Chain A
Amino acid sequence: MAQQKPKHNLDEQIEMNLKKVYQKTLEEEVPDRFLELLQQLKEQDARNDR
């Protein structure tokens, strides 16, 4: 067979596919709920500091 290191090739293919599966989530804009949550937490801290 031409492929001498099929194992490594397989590993790479798995990684490539795995990245593709989660790429959409990684590239998505962070939903507002999280930005709002962080904002709330910051405001909470600010209040507690006073």
Chain B
Amino acid sequence: MTGNANVAQDASPLDPREEIVTHLPAMRAFALSLTRNPSQADDLVQDAVIKAWKNLASFQVGTNMRAWLFTILRNTFYSDRRKSKREVQDTDGAFAATLANKPDHDGRLAMADFEEAFVQLKSEQREALMLVGAMGFSYEEAAETCEVAVGTIKSRVNRARQALSALMNLEEGEPLELTDQQTLAVMSTNMPGRGDAA
């Protein structure tokens, strides 16, 4: 622990209350990966922001606020989920499977297929992969955020990757890529202004 309160804070970090807003986009994306539902995701973010605000005193200025906020967010998610037990049983796997079409067997991956495969993963795998794979967290940061050992995060990430490959019927070495047409379609939907790539 480096709790040196008297270390000079020359850089005068942002007031945590002002900093929260800068993490909202990432919180919304993380929440979406957990809830798999945009309106539930934003409700979750709202609850997490309120909790974070109430507990701001426990945030150590200068440490990783995003990780701190994500911890609150995921704790809120899991505690909500425990409260609504009926939903829990169906939350991972079975529920998603009904939504997802069977992936195509041609080894090509459409964005929709990837998304469908991803939402079928267990929440602990989704969050691990999301943090490490999409958010650029180190294994250590992800472990801290999820309050588990580093080795646990590593194995969750590995299992998530294996599960994704299996769900999409990918053999090792088989290209996991969008066809050109699909890429363009996705780019034009997701990246306004860059749809004229061809």
Contact = CB atoms under 8 A, between A and B. Distances in A.
Interface residues of A, number: 32
Nearest to B30: A22
A37 B109 CA distance: 39
Given A18-B130, A31-B42, A41-B53, A24 B190 contact: yes
Contacts of B53: 41
A37 B28 CA distance: 15
Nearest to B113: A17
Interface residues of B, number: 38
Say whether chain B's binding surface is mostly helix, strand, loop, or mixed.
helix
A31 B24 CA distance: 9
A40 B83 CA distance: 28
A31 B43 CA distance: 12
A19 B46 contact: no
Interface in A1-38: 1, 3, 6-7, 9-11, 13-15, 17-28, 30-31, 33-35, 37-38
Contacts of B186: 20
Interface of B: 17, 20-21, 24-26, 28-29, 32-33, 42, 45-46, 49-50, 53, 109, 111, 114-115, 118, 129-130, 133-134, 161, 164-165, 170, 172-177, 186, 190-191
